[in-house]
Amino acid sequence: MALSAGLLSVATGPPAEAANPTQPVSTAEAAGPAKAPKTAKTSKIEKRRSKAVKTPKLKWRKCGGAKCATVKVPLDYDKPHGQKIKLAVLKRPAKNQKTKIGTLFVNPGGPGGSQCRFF
């Protein structure tokens, strides 16, 4: 019985901080301003690979509330003059042309049907 009372006292006793009131309280310093992440840069190898392929001129056409085009690109950028594939691309102009910030490329991915319906 004495053993079980002792265990109960240990299990329900005051927390360790209360048992030693002279223990210093830890304080955290406020963090400084967050640093901006470094901008990703294209490696020399990737620059060389992408420059080996001429940037195609797209013929945009209206499709719903967007503009669509088809672009031929190398299946393998390590073989820029090898087999080509056609990719359907779609763009939606920014609602406010004065505050637009650039292009966002999205690949909702997956073989099968057209992903242009995704947008």
Per-residue pLDDT of the chain (119 residues; tens, 9 = 90+): 444 444 444 445 555 555 555 666 666 666 667 776 677 777 888 888 777 788 888 999 998 888 889 989 888 888 888 999 988 888 888 889 899 887 777 767 666 666 666 65
pLDDT for the residue numbered 91 = 86
- 101 DSSP 8-state letter: -
- pTM for the complete prediction? 0.49
Burial of 67 (0-12, 13-18, 19+ CB in 10 A): middle
pLDDT for the residue numbered 3 = 45
Instruction: Give residues with Cβ within 8 angstroms of 23, minimum separation 6.
Output: 17
Query: Two tokens at 45?
Result: 């190898």
